Amino acid sequence: MAVLLVQGAGLSPHAEAFEIPGEVSVRLRPLKGLISVSGRDLALHSTGLKALLLKTEGFQQWQLRFETLGGEPAWTVVERDSGKSLARIQGRFAELRGEDVRVDLRPSPSHLRLVAAKQGARFDLQLVGLLALDDYVHGVVSAEVPKNWPLEALKAQAVAARSFALAKLRERARSGRDWMLEATIMDQVFDHARKHDLAETAVLATRGEVLMGPHGVATAHYHADCGGHTDEPRDVWGGGEAMGTATDRCAKRASSQWRMVTSLSELTKKLNGQGKLQFASSIAGLTVVQRTDGGRARGIRLTSARGDVARLTGEDLRAALGYMNLRSTKFEVKTFGDRAEFSGRGFGHGTGLCQWGARGLAADGADYRAILAHYYPKLELRSLTKSPSDLLAALSP
């Protein structure tokens, strides 16, 4: 653990310091059945590296199995080829270290935690990566931005990703969770296997730099394509800190335009499955009744053939239809019988940095500071520290 002082941040007097660990925990993916692990110089530890249980040299292949005997959870480790038992760990956690580690044949970080998360009467097995913050940011930038994009766009992405991660760590610091971050769009997409050199250059060039608001490091949202204009988080989700908005030229890209068709009966089924409807009969009409300043559908009115009425937000509708299907809430919609036809622009929620817009600005010669100022006009770029191992924020809870 370490404490960092924000240099001249001018924070709210209600701000307080909180500590983040030297490594951040990221849930990578669920695990099933017998888990295969391979790598060089593998070592097995109890939780938090408190005790070294098994240390090997050279290339090794293990299998790990989780079980409950007498109601007590435990992990068993065996040598894959011989089946020889190597170790047994009591409890829900097992930690691994090694080089060139693969779990179920997939490249993985060098420090891992296997977690048996209690779900009622059963356990769900999860693979959690334990990484230095900037190692995590490297994996996020590599997954979010192509390696052939301008370096300044990647630098802007690195600052946004670092800020977002620190804000989430602040938010969850006292949650008691088995991991702090998700490696999916639920937080930020992280992919250890896709790391590339230009992303690492961007992370190192912006080391310690974050976006600050009045209460500390900001949750710097970002998305793929704003479709011409960004919005504030409160306009999209009904809350969140103000970041400012920007007008962009993304709408001129042909791939920014999209169309989607779905049936109202299928939409009814999906919304009922999520508890979003107050009536059982099928949806007969769908109308946008409120829009954001950026033109996104903020409020949607649904009606049934019986005259029932329900109201949703645009993001509720995206969640029901799938974020990859209904690409944004910047759309027009028409209904024909049981069919709803959406035509829209952009991709993503539309707040904060627009990645395609950042690419265009960088290609025109803008540096990452100018890009960040364009998309986050109400936030300030600050340097917290020059040492990533000491990265810590003074923030309000």
The tens digit of pLDDT for each residue in 218-270 reads: 999 999 999 999 999 999 998 889 999 999 877 677 778 999 999 999 999 99
What is the DSSP code (8-state) at residue 84? -
Give per-residue pLDDT as tens, 303-323.
998 889 999 999 999 999 999
Q: Please name the residue that has the structure tokens 């299998």.
A: 63
Rounded percentage of the chain residues whose pLDDT exceeds 70: 90
Q: What is the dihedral of CA 351, 356, 362, 366, to 10 degrees?
A: -30
Residue 2: pLDDT over 90: no
Residue 177 has pLDDT above 80, yes or no: yes
Give the helix ranges, DSSP H, for the chain: 133-144, 151-172, 197-205, 233-237, 264-273, 314-321, 355-363, 368-375
- Looking at the DSSP bridge assignments, the partners of residue 222 are 353
Which amino acid, 31? L
The pLDDT value given to residue 4: 39
Question: What pLDDT is attached to residue 278?
Answer: 79
Model confidence over 277-305: pLDDT tens digits?
878 789 999 999 999 999 999 999 999 98
> Which pair of tokens denotes residue 12?
């709210």
Lowest mean pLDDT among 76-85, 270-279, 338-347: 270-279
**Minimum mean pLDDT range among 40-54, 102-116, 380-394:** 380-394
pLDDT surpassing 70 at residue 386:
no
DSSP string, 221-280: -EESB-TTB-B-HHHHHS--------B-SGGGSGGGEEEEEEEHHHHHHHHHHTT--S-S
Work out the average pLDDT over 64-90.
Answer: 89
> pLDDT class for 16, splitting at 50, 70, 90?
very low
Better-predicted residue by pLDDT, 129 or 20: 129
Residue 134, pLDDT > 90, answer: yes
DSSP summary character for residue 203: H
Q: What is the mean pLDDT of the chain?
A: 88
Count of residues for the chain? 397
Q: Does residue 89 register a pLDDT over 90?
A: no
Does residue 397 register a pLDDT over 90? no
Q: Six-digit token pair at 23?
A: 């490594």
> How sure is the predictor about 204, in pLDDT bands with cuts at 50, 70 and 90?
very high
Token pair belonging to 347: 């991709």
